[in-house]
């Protein structure tokens, strides 16, 4: 996996940080946070926090005590040990887009299907820059709602050997994912020793945690499985229109969710979540890759480090409907700050289109290309006698060229990163090759990747047991 | 103009910097730098430097003494004082693409014409993010070679009221630009008091300065007009394949050119230039927006500051043939590091396509959009009681929305940057509006901008004198 040993780009002064710090303290103390779960309220009550109806008025020092119980860094195991990941520190792990109901393939935009889901899982396995297919790469709309989490989890477990995300639609779904993880990894003890899934628990911002996702949090936290406690903030709608206010709210929400996770199981691994962008104040549409979201992302990294927590952001975000120029620069407008901030768990790294409504096959390839370029860019320079190249100058002299020099010959195969999608063909050759734009080339690449895809080996007894579980549970769920 | 008050992102350690420092010293001392100009060699000889044939072996301390004579920051005046720019410090000035022989307009790629040139000048005037149309926005191939610098300079002076770049094809051309500047600004004294042009003097890397551009340097420096001394390095061809070697060479070349400028006129304003990317080692094609060029750019900023010099980089660079996804992310792969590094004079900010062979009308709009987004992103947060938004939370409460809150009402018009090119329309509306991708929307924008373009007022006597000069000189040149 990728380790980002470049410096972090931090833009908040100590004074700014203390203003934000005062801000979240006031918010949790005076406005409080709603938890739509009797179990959650009871835990806070028992811990001595003031609870009125569904609102918990939190003592900031109590929150920080809970947060301090969370590990700063932790491992997540994949069924192929070579794909294990580390969350925290300089580590960055990348997962595919999460949640789109629709799929785009070339000119066609349609409802996502289970076969689309499987294809995105296969592509996530195929592209080495991705550490995970994520969870809901697209909604498999042609499968029954009640049991599709079983089909998705089975696909993630069998078509990839990478880390996967757990389903969070309900506590029952979470129990299914945990049970299947126990089958895959050899029992409860194995998955509690080192977690095997990461799950996304969103806040219903502002300042409200809903019951179904909290039910899932209860299950995952109890099993020692990390959740990403994520304020879901489109500034102007789910938070005030000012970035500092959104950051303060984000801290209050994330830390309150993390405190709950620690009450459920002290020491449980968690990730400080961030989904932070803004709406277009004229149309009300969500917008992505914006200047405001870039600033928010940089601040989020600094804030998470301030609290000693690993953190999550997205990804290749864009509002664009198609994988065009806007999609390219908006994706990078989020992905480059992601590297500058050193995000530990990067969701939506590949495939995001149209504000997250669409998982795009071509966009998936574009994003993998961008992430791979950035991984090379965020690798420290090695400066030594060889890389200073004085001997090359002695050989070449003034006004010459270095193409055939010994210094070049020794290094030309590996000296520069070679992209798989970008074209630098000269015009005549590019025309001869069909004048293909990026999206056209990307389409050829994902189709070829699917053709060449090989399913990673899995013990047949384990596979059969997983399948039996899915079949039995689907029957129980009446699908 | 834009002032970048965000922190600089610096990736070179003190140790790395001293290794690079030792590197350029060894290069200028032992390999030396070629100057294909007897006048230049004579100046170095008189200053006590060792000269053998065309090669000057420079004493690094002598070079640094000359460099120290250059101003750290300076102003450049435009004929409209509101468009004056400052070069150095936190200031960033943006100019359009420079040098392409071809033009792309939608699906058409063709030789650039004088009317294309004028249209790019008009667009540069129209887009407020640009401080300059640059110089050779495209080659006007339908005008005579010997006198086209007159037509270009006249177009820049009359169609824009912004800072412009001087022609560097020869010393004679430079004298024409200076003479026309004297007409426009009211005499030699006026342009020497505060310079009125910036000119691009490229090194014929590695380690050679050619005669024609040096002749231009002699003219501009003598008139106190700043030149950008620019090593032209595609790593693997014009420098060794390793980034540290390219950086060392870049320092040696830029400082040697700057030293010459200071010998010509001590205290003359100069800009540390950088044009640094790499070739594809399989095809030999130049590539842009690469990880290597991004790293080089960040280091270049740090190096220029180390020597107390304002510096130049590009821009919206890309190898892509069309304004597609690759063009979008490659442009940003250069432009975002440009802001992180705090580049003072940003060349190729708008319109660059196909490795610089093509000036693209749609790409021009794409780049202006990206630059404008980045200008908003690189603006420090204001954190105060109002922006912390506590009152908004009091008004909205848990799980509500902020669309109609007082806090939002007071700020909604200006709270977020509103892009002019990006689409965040929902799918149905986007389809109804013709399912236009970014390039299609960009085409509509530049056409509308040209329709709405208004030529900035210019004193008729001055305009007539400029025209007379052009007519007379064209006749003298035999065109």
Residue A8 touches partner B, C-beta closer than 8 Å: no
Interface contact B291-A373, CB threshold 8 A: yes
Q: Is A333 exposed, middle or buried (0-12, 13-18, 19+ CB in 10 A)?
A: buried
Residue A414 touches partner B, C-beta closer than 8 Å: no
Kindly list the residues from chain A whose CB atom is less than 8 angstroms away from the CB atom of residue B407: 240-242, 245
Locate the chain B residue with the closest alpha carbon to A286.
B424
Residue A261 touches partner B, C-beta closer than 8 Å: no
How does the average pLDDT of chain B come out, rounded?
Answer: 97
Interface contact A397-B325, CB threshold 8 A: no
Give per-residue pLDDT as tens, B258-305. 999 999 999 999 999 999 999 999 999 999 999 999 999 999 999 999
Give per-residue pLDDT as tens, B359-368. 999 999 999 9
Above 90 in pLDDT, residue B479?
no
| Count of A-B CB contacts under 8 Å | 385
**What pLDDT is stored for residue B314 in this prediction?**
87
Q: What is the DSSP string of B157-184?
A: HHH--SBEEEP-S-HHHHHHHHHHHHHH
Q: Chain centroid to CA A160: how far?
A: 17
Residue A404 touches partner B, C-beta closer than 8 Å: no
Kindly list the residues from chain B whose CB atom is less than 8 angstroms away from the CB atom of residue A285: 424-426
Give per-residue pLDDT as tens, B22-57. 999 999 999 999 999 999 999 999 999 999 999 999
Give per-residue pLDDT as tens, B433-475. 999 999 999 999 999 999 999 999 999 999 999 999 999 999 9
Kindly list the residues from chain B whose CB atom is less than 8 angstroms away from the CB atom of residue A238: 401-402
Asked if residue A283 lies in contact with residue B418, where contact means CB atoms within 8 angstroms, the answer is no
Tell me the β-bridge partners of B202. Answer: B230
**What pLDDT is stored for residue A334 in this prediction?**
98
Q: CA–CA separation, A95 vs A81, rounded Å?
A: 17
A contact test, residue of B416, B425, B433 with most A CBs within 10 A: B416
**What pLDDT is stored for residue A439 in this prediction?**
98
- The C-alpha of A214 sits at a distance from chain B's nearest C-alpha, in angstroms, of 15
In this structure, what are the phi and psi dihedrals at residue A285, rounded to the nearest 5 degrees?
-70, 145
Q: Which residue has the tokens 């070069």?
A: B87
Residue A68 touches partner B, C-beta closer than 8 Å: no
| Mean pLDDT, rounded, for B65-90 | 98
B contact test, residue of A292, A325, A361 with most B CBs within 10 A: A325
Q: CA–CA separation, A82 vs A66, rounded Å?
A: 33
| Closest residue to A244, CB basis, from B299, B383, B422 | B383
Give per-residue pLDDT as tens, A258-306. 999 999 999 999 999 999 999 999 999 999 999 999 999 999 999 999 9
Residue B14 touches partner A, C-beta closer than 8 Å: no
Interface contact B241-A398, CB threshold 8 A: no
- Cβ of A312: how many Cβ atoms within 10 Å? 28
Enumerate long-range contacts of A371-376, CB under 8 Å, 24 or more apart.
A371/A94, A371/A129, A371/A130, A371/A316, A371/A335, A372/A129, A372/A417, A372/A419, A372/A420, A373/A417, A373/A419, A373/B290, A373/B291, A373/B333, A374/A335, A374/A336, A374/A338, A374/A339, A374/B291, A375/A2, A375/A129, A376/A417, A376/B291, A376/B292
Kindly list the residues from chain A whose CB atom is less than 8 angstroms away from the CB atom of residue B420: none
Above 90 in pLDDT, residue A187?
yes
Confidence of residue A188 (pLDDT cuts 50, 70, 90): very high
3-state helix, strand, coil in chain B (%, to 5): 45, 15, 40
Residue A426 touches partner B, C-beta closer than 8 Å: yes
Residue B129 touches partner A, C-beta closer than 8 Å: no
Confidence of residue A338 (pLDDT cuts 50, 70, 90): very high
Asked if residue B297 lies in contact with residue B273, where contact means CB atoms within 8 angstroms, the answer is no
Kindly list the residues from chain A whose CB atom is less than 8 angstroms away from the CB atom of residue B416: 235-236, 241, 278-281, 287, 290, 292
| Closest residue to A438, CB basis, from B236, B326, B413 | B326
**What pLDDT is stored for residue B37 in this prediction?**
98
- Cβ of B107: how many Cβ atoms within 10 Å? 8
Tell me the β-bridge partners of A64. Answer: none
Output the CA torsion sign for A66, A69, A71, A72. positive
Interface contact B377-A295, CB threshold 8 A: yes
Q: Which residue has the tokens 């004198």?
A: B465
Kindly list the residues from chain B whose CB atom is less than 8 angstroms away from the CB atom of residue A421: 326
Confidence of residue A135 (pLDDT cuts 50, 70, 90): very high
Above 90 in pLDDT, residue A479?
no
**What pLDDT is stored for residue A347 in this prediction?**
98
- The C-alpha of B198 sits at a distance from chain A's nearest C-alpha, in angstroms, of 25
Its ipTM equals 0.97
Interface contact A380-B11, CB threshold 8 A: yes
Above 90 in pLDDT, residue A48?
yes
Token pair belonging to B311 = 């510096």
Asked if residue B398 lies in contact with residue A207, where contact means CB atoms within 8 angstroms, the answer is yes
């Amino acid at each position: 996996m990728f380790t980002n040993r470049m410096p972090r780009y931090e833009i908040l002064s100590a004074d700014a940080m203390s203003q934000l710090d005062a801000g979240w303290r006031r918010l949790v103390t005076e406005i409080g946070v709603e938890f739509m779960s009797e179990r959650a309220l009871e835990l806070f009550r028992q811990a001595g926090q003031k609870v009125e109806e569904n609102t918990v008025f939190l003592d900031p020092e109590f929150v920080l005590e809970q947060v301090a119980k969370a590990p700063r860094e932790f491992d997540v195991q994949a069924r192929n040990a070579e794909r294990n990941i580390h969350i925290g520190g300089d580590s960055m792990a990348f997962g595919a887009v999460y949640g789109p109901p629709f799929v785009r393939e070339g000119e066609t935009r349609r409802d996502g299907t289970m076969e689309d889901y499987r294809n995105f899982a296969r592509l996530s396995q195929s592209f080495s820059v991705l550490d995970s297919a994520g969870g809901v790469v697209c909604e498999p709309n042609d499968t029954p709602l009640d049991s599709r989490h079983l089909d998705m989890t089975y696909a993630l477990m069998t078509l990839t050997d990478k880390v996967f995300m757990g389903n969070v639609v309900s506590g029952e779904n979470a129990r299914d994912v945990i049970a299947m993880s126990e089958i895959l990894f050899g029992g409860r003890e194995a998955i509690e020793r080192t977690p095997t899934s990461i799950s996304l628990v969103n806040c219903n911002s502002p300042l409200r945690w809903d019951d179904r996702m909290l039910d899932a949090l209860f299950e995952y936290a109890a099993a020692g499985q990390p959740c990403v406690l994520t304020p879901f903030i489109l500034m102007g709608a789910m938070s005030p229109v000012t970035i500092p206010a959104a950051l303060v709210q984000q801290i209050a929400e994330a830390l309150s969710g993390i405190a709950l996770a620690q009450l459920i199981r002290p020491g449980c691994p968690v990730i400080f979540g961030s989904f932070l962008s803004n709406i277009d104040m004229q149309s009300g549409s969500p917008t992505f890759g914006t200047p405001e979201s870039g600033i928010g992302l940089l601040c989020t990294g600094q804030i998470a480090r301030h609290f000693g927590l690993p953190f999550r952001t997205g990804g290749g975000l864009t509002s664009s409907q198609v994988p065009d120029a806007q999609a390219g620069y908006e994706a990078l407008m989020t992905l480059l700050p992601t590297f500058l901030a050193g995000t530990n768990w990067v969701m939506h790294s590949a495939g995001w289109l149209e504000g997250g409504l669409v998982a795009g096959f071509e966009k998936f390839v574009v994003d993998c290309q961008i992430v791979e370029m950035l991984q090379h860019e965020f690798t420290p320079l090695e400066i030594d006698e060889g890389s200073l190249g004085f001997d090359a100058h002695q050989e070449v002299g003034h006004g010459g060229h270095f193409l055939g020099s010994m210094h070049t010959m020794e290094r030309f195969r590996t000296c520069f990163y070679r992209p798989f999608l970008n074209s630098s063909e000269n015009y005549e050759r590019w025309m001869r090759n069909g004048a293909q734009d990026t999206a056209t080339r990307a389409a050829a690449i994902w189709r070829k990747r699917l053709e060449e895809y090989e399913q990673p080996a899995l013990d047949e007894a384990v596979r059969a047991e997983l399948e039996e579980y899915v079949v039995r549970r689907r029957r129980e769920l009446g699908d």
